[in-house]
Amino acid sequence: MHIPDGFLDVKTWVSTGVISAGALGYSIKKSKESLNDRQVPLLGVMAAFIFAAQMINFPVAGGTSGHLLGAALAAILLGPWNASIILSSVLIIQCLFFQDGGLTALGGNIFNMAVVGVLTSYLVYRGITLLNSSKATKIIASFAAAWISVVVACLAASLELAVSGTAPLNIVIPAMLSWHVLIGIGEGMITAVVVSVVSAYGFSLEGGNNSYEKTSVG
């Protein structure tokens, strides 16, 4: 759902840029307060995985593209603040070096995927696991969080295109949703599998509390 240059009007890309800059700054501040040495390599590995996943994309509608997001997986394993930094870094690199997403639309793309996508997935995952913290529930919650994060990020991008006058809302939303509902299922399955494997190897998932500690197995 990378939006290219020329598809957002000035008021939209400026406003989303300001919001995204503020959100990223806050995420960096919160990450510094809680990030530990064991998590630093994980951030790099997660960023590389998401970068590779997002580079596999295809055209959808109105000049945008469809691809896996990775917001939920990063938020579940490393917390929302670290996840926001990871997604933002990936989007900046893709924009500057691979022309995947426009420079003027960078704030919008970060807002959709690194802010809306990350926070939505985190809230959904935490909301479900607070009701039941079993491993099975965490796997189900990870699927739901991933699917919803893709759909909500897609809707945010669609609204930005409509507000900018690029495409009518009644055209861009059905076109975008028809693809991203399916992409969300794939992303949900991948996220659930990774969460299941991580849990099986004895790591404790704290639902984004920046805790990723080895526990006893067996």
pLDDT means per 10 residues, the chain with 218 residues, are: 91 97 96 79 86 71 67 92 95 90 95 97 96 91 96 95 93 88 90 87 54 38
Nearest Cα residue to 104 out of 7, 38, 216, 217: 7
The pLDDT value recorded for residue 211 is: 42
DSSP 59: E
The pLDDT value recorded for residue 118 is: 97
Taking the chain, what is the end-to-end CA distance rounded to the nearest angstrom?
42
For the chain, the structural domain boundaries read 10-58+66-200
Q: What is the pLDDT of residues 21-74, one digit of tens each?
A: 999 999 999 998 887 777 777 788 889 988 887 776 666 555 555 677 899 999
The pLDDT value recorded for residue 202 is: 61
The pLDDT value recorded for residue 37 is: 72
The pLDDT value recorded for residue 204 is: 55
The pLDDT value recorded for residue 206 is: 54
The pLDDT value recorded for residue 61 is: 57
The three state secondary structure string of 66-82 is ECCCCHHHHHHHHCHHH
Kindly state the percentage of the chain with pLDDT values over 70.
Answer: 87
Nearest Cα residue to 179 out of 71, 57, 70: 57
| Residue 70 to residue 150: CA distance in whole angstroms | 9
User: 10-58+66-200: what fold?
Assistant: Arp2/3 complex 21 kDa subunit ARPC3 (1.10.1760)
AA letter at 75: A
